[in-house]
Structure formats: structure tokens, C-alpha cells
Structure 1
Amino acid sequence: MITIREATIDDLQTLQAIGIETYKDHFSDIWTDAGLQTFLSEDFSACKLRKSIESPTHHCWLIALNEKEEAVGFSKVNWSKPIPMSDQIGAELQKIYFLKSQAGKGYGKQLLQFIQHAAQNRNEGFLWLDVLKTNSNAQRFYESFGFRALGEIPFSTDIAEIGMIVMCHDVSR
């Protein structure tokens, strides 16, 4: 069981550390070492994180803590974003990451349920995300929550054109 709470500016270094570690664990094979370092230094820069955390009307950072109150994962949700390939607006689940050592404990399911309820409470109507076209395990995970693929959008790294699948779930019910 995890405890989930909204992250504050005091969590910035923790979010940065977990974000970099988990991204490397899961996605280092789609980048060169230099490309990965460039991406991470931009995506998880202290300045960018601070600005985002300090904009709660647009973004929601959630931190997941284990029984020992240790951070084991996090997510970032962007409120009221246009859904690609659609004329709808919804909450975008931009990031949901857990430390590799925490895999298989059901934490992702708990955090996703928490996010779905938060989106419903904000009357978002839809929760959407994009996932690597090659990540069939993640796609199946989201499908088990009622997400459906809308189509593909481009995504490339410094070594490959991979593509992303946009998935959406109606949370208005």
C-alpha cells in the first residue's frame, strides 16, 4: 500500500532524482548516452520542475510513498489539455513512474486510480496519455483501466523514430 499526496516544492529534488533514475531504467535503450543526458537535463531541470510544481491550476504532481514514508514513484497530470486526434479536452497523464525495485507491487494501479478520481473531481471528462508504440505491456495495463487507443503520433529520439500511441479513457461516468 502506498500513500499518495500532492508534491510540493520541498519534493523537487526527490522528483528530480526519481524521474532521472526511472527514465534511465526504462528508456535508456532508445537514446544514445549523450541524447539521454540532454533529454534528462531538460525534462527534469530544477527550473522546469519548480515552475511546473508552482502552477497547480495547470499541473498536478503526485508523489507516492511506501510504508516507510520513502518516495517510490510519482506522476504528473496536466489539467484541461486538448486530446490529440480529437475535439475533446481532458486531463493528460504525462508521467507515471516508479522505481524499478517497486515494480509488481500494485503501486501503479493505486496511483492511476487516484488520478482517475482526481480527474473526475475536477470534471475533466477524459483522462488521456501517450505511450511508446513499442511498449505493449504499458498499453495492456492502460487498456485494463478502460483506456482505448485513438491513434499514433510521432515521437523520435536522437537514434530512432518510434511513435507514440494516444490512449484515452472517459472518466465522466
Structure 2
Amino acid sequence: MIEFEIADNNFSTQLVQFWRESFLAAYSDVHSAENIQAYFSASYTIEEANKMLSSEHFFCLKANRNQQTVGIAIVNYRRCSLNEGLDTAELKHLYLLPSAYGTGLAHKMMDEVFRSVKKESKSHVWLSVSKLNIRAQRFYKKLGFECIGDGDDIHVGNEVLASLIMIKKLVN
């Protein structure tokens, strides 16, 4: 059975470990070990985890199965740079462990994210996704996200990946 909870500052070390484990599982065949390590050093640090978990602008949803975290979703309450007029929240990360792939957990987590974002009176959720990550783009399109333009480049070590911005209007 899956249980959801909002992570607090005590989850920082586990969050860094989860980021790294889930990123490796998803991208070790795409990026070199050297570039992945550089990405970890720049992005998946204890300082970054502490910053997110202690900020009122972020929340981290954990999905636990048998007391083990198998999925995380991190939301940043900030406006989309491509549509400043909307009251939006950014889905910063949605990561699952491979053991949770194909179980419907990602859909359940997104439903929880949408509920939480609506409670904060946000009208839309947006995200940035690599143009190479076709699987993720398909998943988000099934959830009702639409592509609205190009996003910032994603730097993984010395690799530079183009990204797309996708957005979904939340219905009441």
C-alpha cells in the first residue's frame, strides 16, 4: 500500500540519496558517469535539499511503500517565465524508483500534486522537460499538459540539453 506524506527538513539526506538513485536508474544509459557525477555535485546536494525542504515556496511529496520512499514530487510555488500572468506552480521533480515503474504511482502522485496546488489557489501547474525525454512528455500530455515553448537548457556535466515548457490548467 502506498502512503503519501509531506517531507520535512529531516528528509534532506534521504532526498539527496533518492535524487541520485532515481536519476542514475533513469539516465545512466544516456549520460556518461563523469557528467552524471558533475550534475550531482552541482544540483543534488545536501544544501539544495535543505533549501527546498525549509522553504515555504517548495513542498516535497513522498510516496512510501512498506516504509520505503519509492517516489517524490517537488513543487515550487513560482510563476512560469513563459506566462507570467497566470498564478502557477512548477513541478520541479517527479522521480520514481524503478520498482515503482508501471504501477500507476506517477498518476497517483500527480493527482496529489494537483490537489495540493489547488489548495494554494494556483490555477496551473507547469514543468520543464528535456526534449529527449519523450516518455515523460507522453506521460504529461496524457495528464493534460500542453507544450507552450522552449525552456532553459539543462546542463548535465558538459552536456547541454534543450527543454520544453509544458503547462496544465487545473479544473475545480
> With structure 1 as the length reference, what TM-score do the two structures score?
0.90
Matching residue within 95, 101, 119 for 2:99? 101
8 Å CA contact 1:130, 1:166 repeated in 2:
yes
- 1:136 to partner: Cα distance: 1.5
Q: How many residues align?
A: 170
- Give SS of 2:140's match: helix
Counterpart CA distance in 2 for 1:76 and 1:49 is 11
Aligned to 1:84: 81
2:97 partner letter? L
8 Å CA contact 1:30, 1:157 repeated in 2:
no
Query: Per-residue CA shift, 1:57-107, capped at 9, x if unaligned?
Result: 2100111101x121111111001x121322234110000101012111111
1:123 partner letter? S
Aligned to 2:53: 53
Unpaired stretches in structure 2, ≥5 consecutive residues: none
- Structure 1 170/2 Cα, relative in aligned 2: closer, same or farther at 3 Å? same
Unpaired stretches in structure 1, ≥5 consecutive residues: none
- 1:172 to partner: Cα distance: 4.6
- 1:159 to partner: Cα distance: 4.5
- Give SS of 1:84's match: coil
- Structure 1 25/109 Cα, relative in aligned 2: closer, same or farther at 3 Å? same
Q: Which moved more, 1:22-31 or 1:147-156?
A: 22-31
8 Å CA contact 1:64, 1:71 repeated in 2:
yes
8 Å CA contact 2:92, 2:127 repeated in 1:
yes
Aligned to 2:166: 167
> With structure 2 as the length reference, what TM-score do the two structures score?
0.91
Query: Where does structure 1 differ by over 2 angstroms across 4 or more consecutive aligned residues?
Result: 27-35, 156-162
Identity %: 24
- 1:30 to partner: Cα distance: 4.2
